[in-house]
Amino acid sequence: MKTRFFTILTIAAMTLSLSSCKDKAKEAKTTEAEAATEMTEVSTKYKVNTEASSIKWIGHKPTGSHNGTISLESGIATVNNGTLESGTFLIDMSSINVLDIPADDEGNAKLAGHLKSSDFFDVEKYPAAAFEVTGFETVEGKTMLSGNLKLKDVTNNITIPVTVKENGDTLSITSETFTINRSKWNVKYGSKSFFDDLGDKFINDDIELQIDVTATKA
């Protein structure tokens, strides 16, 4: 009976492990910054609706995870013949919000403050992050958006799968969930990429992100 019980537990653990690996979001292809694309005279210009747009984030550590949102400060995108041609988006880093801890719990403000501090994104020094489009193509049936992501004082180019739709005067850009490795932008706190003596007190380098942008014709 015990043997059967432990066998069932082992199978369940293996199934959970395989499911976790399968469900983990892929890291965005990350390379050196590239030249941004430019709008043409025949393109349609859209202005980001910041109230209807957001970036969802999830951070992991051995004891669990935290999640929240970040708001866009502003943004302009252009579309030419159904293809995203260019775009520049500013991200308001002071808007980092925590959702998994109740808003009236002191832990909420503590975590949000820590993420905004110099340990992580140093919002006082770097109040905005930025993303500018450098390429847009279809690869193996998926629409891939490339752009320079600037966090703090580092800029890298990332490529992510997105869905882009025009509907009347509205443009939507929605990404699949993806990850970035924060160490590539010098976000060092609790990172095994920078510190060897963390034991189980580390925080994963991978940050999961999902982008949802809504824009209207300018």
Q: What does the domain layout of the chain look like in residue ranges?
A: 26-217
- From the options 2.40.30.30, 2.40.128.110, 3.30.390.50, 2.60.40.420, give the CATH code of 26-217: 2.40.128.110
Tokens of 143: 């629409």
pLDDT for residue 23 is more than 90: no
Cβ–Cβ < 8 Å for 182, 57 = no
pLDDT for residue 74 is more than 50: yes
Task: List, for residues 136-147, the tens digit of each pLDDT value.
Answer: 999 988 999 999
- DSSP secondary structure code for residue 51 in this structure: G
Cβ–Cβ < 8 Å for 77, 46 = yes
Q: Which residues contact 5 (CB under 8 A, 6 or more apart)?
A: none
Provide, rounded to the nearest whole percent, the portion of the chain with pLDDT above 70.
89
Cβ–Cβ < 8 Å for 48, 172 = no
Residue 11 confidence class, pLDDT cut points 50, 70, 90: very low
- pLDDT mean over 97-124: 97
Rg (CA), the chain: 20
Task: List, for residues 130-176, the tens digit of each pLDDT value.
Answer: 999 999 999 988 999 999 999 999 999 999 999 999 999 999 999 99
Q: Whole-number mean pLDDT of the chain?
A: 90
Q: What is the DSSP string of 98-115?
A: E-SS-TTSHHHHHHHHHH
Predicted confidence at residue 10, as pLDDT, reads: 39
